[in-house]
Amino acid sequence: MTKAISVGDYLIHAIEQAGVKHVFGIPGDYVLGLYDLFAKSSIELVGTCTEIGAGYAADAYARINGLGCVCVTYCVGGLNALNAVAGAYAEKSPLILISGAPGLGERAFSPLLHHRIRDFNTQRLIFEKVTVAAEALEDPLTAPRQIDAAIAACKRQKRPVYIEVPRDMVHRLCGSIRLEPQDAPKSPPDVLKEALRESASMLRNAKRPVILAGVEIHRYGLQSLLVRLVERSGFPVAATLLGKSVIGELHPQYLGIYEGAMGREDVRLAVERADCVLFLGAFMTDIDLGGFTSNIDVSRTINATAEQVTIQRHHFDGIVLRDFIEGLLKSKLGPRRKLRFAPRSKPKPVKLQRGRKITVRRFFARMNDFLKDDSVVIADPGDSLFGAADLTIHRRTEFVSPAYYTSMGFAVPAALGAQIRRPHLRPIVFVGDGAFQMTGQELSTIVRYGLNPIVFVLNNKGYTTERFIQDGPYNDIHEWAYHRWPEVLRQGLGLEAHTEDELEDALIRAEKHTASFVVINAHFDPMDRSNALDRLAKRLRARVQGKGS
Residue choice 448, 498, 513, 538 for contact with a copy of itself (CB under 8 A):
448
Candidates 36-44, 222-230, 260-268, 357-365; binding stretch for a copy of itself (CB under 8 A): 36-44
Among the listed ranges 204-212, 220-228, 302-310, 472-480, the one in contact with a copy of itself (CB under 8 A) is 472-480
Interface with a copy of itself by CB under 8 A: which range of 246-254, 352-360, 393-401, 462-470?
462-470
Dist. CA 49–CA 447, nearest whole Å: 12
Asked if 42 interacts with a copy of itself (CB under 8 A), we say no
> Which residues are paired to 303 by β-bridges?
279, 310
CA distance 292 to 117: 40
By CB under 8 A, tell whether 181 contacts a copy of itself: no
CB 107 to a copy of itself: min, Å: 10
What is the per-residue DSSP string for 453-510?
-EEEEEE-SB-HHHHTT---GGGB-PPP-GGGHHHHHT-SEEEEESBHHHHHHHHHHH
Q: Which of 20, 237, 257, 284 binds a copy of itself (CB under 8 A)?
A: 284
* Positions in 187-206 near a copy of itself (CB under 8 A): none
Q: What are the CA-CA distances from residue 105 to residues 102, 147, 167, 295 (Å)?
A: 8, 22, 9, 60
The secondary structure element, H or E, covering residue 96 is strand 95-101
| Torsion angle, alpha carbons of 119, 125, 130, 134, to 10 | 110
Q: Which of 16, 106, 266, 297 binds a copy of itself (CB under 8 A)?
A: 106
Q: Which is nearer to a copy of itself, 125 or 508 (CB)?
A: 125
Nearer to a copy of itself, 75 or 309 (CB): 75
| Strands 276-280, 254-257: pairing kind | unpaired
Rounded distance between C-alpha atoms, residue 384 and residue 98, angstroms: 31
Radius of gyration of the chain (CA): 24
% helix, strand, coil for the chain, step of 5? 40, 20, 40
Report the C-alpha gap between 128 and 86 in whole angstroms: 11
Task: Tell me whether residue 67 or residue 90 sits nearer to a copy of itself (CB atom).
Answer: 90
Of 395, 398, 401, 321, the closest CA to residue 158 belongs to: 321
Instruction: Rule CB under 8 A: say whether 116 interacts with a copy of itself.
Output: yes
Specify the 3-state DSSP secondary structure of 540. helix
Which residues from 214-253 bind a copy of itself, rule CB under 8 A?
Answer: none
Which one of residues 253, 445, 464, 530 is an interface residue with a copy of itself (CB under 8 A)?
445
Minimum distance from CB of 21 to a copy of itself (Å)?
16
Name the segment binding a copy of itself (CB under 8 A); options: 13-21, 57-65, 103-111, 199-207. 103-111
> Of 230 and 271, which CB lies nearer to a copy of itself in the complex structure?
271
Query: Residue 469, interface with a copy of itself (CB under 8 A)?
Result: yes
Instruction: Assess 478 for contact with a copy of itself (CB under 8 A).
Output: yes
Handedness of CA 286, 455, 213, 188 (dihedral sign): negative
Strands 276-280 and 301-304: parallel
From the list 3, 340, 348, 490, which residue makes contact with a copy of itself (rule: CB under 8 A)? 490
Residues 31 and 34: their CA atoms lie apart, in Å, by: 5
- What does each C-alpha distance from 364 to 6, 265, 535 come to in angstroms? 52, 18, 17
Least distance to a copy of itself, CB of residue 326, Å: 27
289 in contact with a copy of itself (CB under 8 A) = yes
Residues touching a copy of itself: how many (CB under 8 A)? 97
CA-wise closest residue to 234 among 222, 218, 251, 220: 251
90 scored as a contact of a copy of itself (CB under 8 A): yes
Stretch that binds a copy of itself, among 337-345, 388-396, 484-492, 500-508 (CB under 8 A): 484-492
The nearest distance, CB 199 to a copy of itself, in angstroms, is 23
Q: Which is nearer to a copy of itself, 254 or 485 (CB)?
A: 485
Sign, CA dihedral 124-9-51-412, equals negative
Q: Which of residues 46-65 bind a copy of itself (CB under 8 A)?
A: 47, 49-50, 52
Kindly identify the residues of this chain, within the stretch 499-538, that bind a copy of itself according to CB under 8 A: none
**CA-based torsion, 388, 390, 393, 399: positive or negative:** positive
> What distance in Å separates the CA atoms of residue 31 and residue 26, rounded to the nearest whole number?
9
328-367 positions binding a copy of itself, by CB under 8 A? none
Q: How far is the CB of 340 from a copy of itself (least distance, A)?
A: 32
Q: Does 104 bind a copy of itself (CB under 8 A)?
A: no
Three-state DSSP at 323 gives helix
